[in-house]
Amino acid sequence: MLPAVRITHVESFRLPLPGAEPPFAWRRGLLGSSPDGHAAVLRIGADDGASGVALATRPGMAAAVEDAVDRVLREALTGRDPRQREFLWHHMWELDRTEEFPLPLLGLVDIALWDLAGRRSGQSAWQVLGGFRTKIPAYASTATFRDLDEYLDVATQCLELGYQAIKLHAWGDARRDAELGHKLRAHVGDGVPLMYDGSAGFDLPDAVYLGRALHDAGFLWYEEPMREFNVTAYGQLARSVRIPLLVAETSDGAHMNTADFIAAGAATFGVRASATMRAGITGAMRTAHLADAYRLRAEVLGDEIPSRHLAMAISNTTYYESLITANPVRRRPEVDADGFVHAPTGPGIALPAGLDYPSALEPYVET
């Protein structure tokens, strides 16, 4: 029998989080990049000396994590076995029933426990998960730029820097975005995969119009054109356009909600997998396995460090999403000159370098 291991401390750290420089925009109606603020790190430690961390960077999360730790999480987790990640994942859902945690907070405990598991075993989290690949191509995922000419300029730079595909976040105007899609296709040629993310900017009629235009321009997938509250509307969209849909990114309920999109026939390309938006590493893997059962893709969201581990562990994912928010374009440091992201090599998951961490967190920072 394995010796007993118990969680002994659950704590939060607040640290400064610089705003993007230069600031960037999203589609009309949405706020742009956040100004200077604060992030939170959750740390969970056990009586055998092992510990793990998870970073929360969404606006307002520093205060939310501090409050959750002090009111709920410290008492709920202390004395539990950190190796029982499955039990603790279900336990967080039980707590959520009355707490209604913000989506990025719901999976934070799970991320920290997977980090702890990797550090205890001396392996990266993607290896503990089983591992599928050691590198994956990256696509350039744009912020919203000023005009057509700037988008085309940014696209040229992205391809010259090695990115293997491009996803547009455009203006949120169906006619104007359709024109951009056609002009971008003509600019890059037929050999470059293109995708479009609507950031929930449209109603059903405009989503149908734009989806048909993007299909004509040969786009690979069409992502979140509408709010994801109404699965029936997405089913109608899927029946009205020929472009494959990538869905279930921001809706609550992890794999349980994803299942409704699949059952409605709305996930014609696939679904989103995310540690931040799908209840941690465990929720993201459940989502990926669900999609795989239906022979669908589970495309990993965002370029946070947990996303790198998911991209190496999930078999049915295609690309790594790399945000491009400035012109001139700067290739992200994890993307190589050929447009690939390679598997992390350190133990656990790690915290990103470049933030002003207290000394207690420095051993967890990626090197």
Going by pLDDT thresholds of 50, 70 and 90, the confidence category of residue 1 is low
Q: What is the mean pLDDT of residues 329-355?
A: 97
CA dihedral defined by 146, 17, 249, 310, rounded to 10 degrees? 120
Residue 28 has pLDDT above 80, yes or no: yes
Distance CA 56, CA 65 (A): 8
Q: What pLDDT, on the 0 to 100 scale, is given for residue 87?
A: 98
Q: Is it the case that residue 26 has pLDDT exceeding 80?
A: yes
Residue appearing with tokens 């455009």: 170
Q: How confident is the model over 223-266, as pLDDT tens digits?
A: 999 999 999 999 999 999 999 999 999 999 999 999 999 999 99
In this structure, the number of other CB atoms found within 10 A of the CB of residue 66 comes to 17
The amino acid that residue 38 corresponds to is H
Say how far apart CA 285 and CA 96 lie, in whole Å. Answer: 20
- C-alpha distances in angstroms, 312 versus 43, 129, 168, 254, 299? 24, 9, 24, 20, 12
Angstrom CA distances, 306 to 16, 67, 242, stand at 20, 23, 32
pLDDT, residue 57, reads 97
Residue 135: predicted pLDDT: 98
Domains in the chain: ranges and CATH: 7-121 (3.30.390.10), 127-342 (3.20.20.120)
Determine the 3-state secondary structure of 178 from DSSP: helix
Which residues are within 8 A (CB) of 140 and not within 5 positions of it... i.e. 6 or more apart? 154, 155, 158, 163, 165, 166, 167, 322, 324, 329
Residue 46 has pLDDT above 70, yes or no: yes
pLDDT of residue 283: 98
The 10s digit of each residue's pLDDT in 63-122 is 999 999 999 999 999 999 999 999 999 999 999 999 999 999 999 999 999 999 999 999
**Statement: the pTM of the whole predicted model exceeds 0.95:** yes
Question: If pLDDT is split at 50, 70 and 90, which confidence band does 3 have?
Answer: confident
Rounded to 10°, the helix 108-121/85-99 angle is 160
Q: Are strands 270-273 and 297-300 parallel, antiparallel or unpaired?
A: parallel
* pLDDT tens-digit readout, 9-22: 999 999 999 999 99
List, for residues 187-197, the tens digit of each pLDDT value: 999 999 999 99
Q: Is the pLDDT of residue 2 over 80?
A: no
For β-strands 320-324 and 340-342, DSSP reports them as unpaired
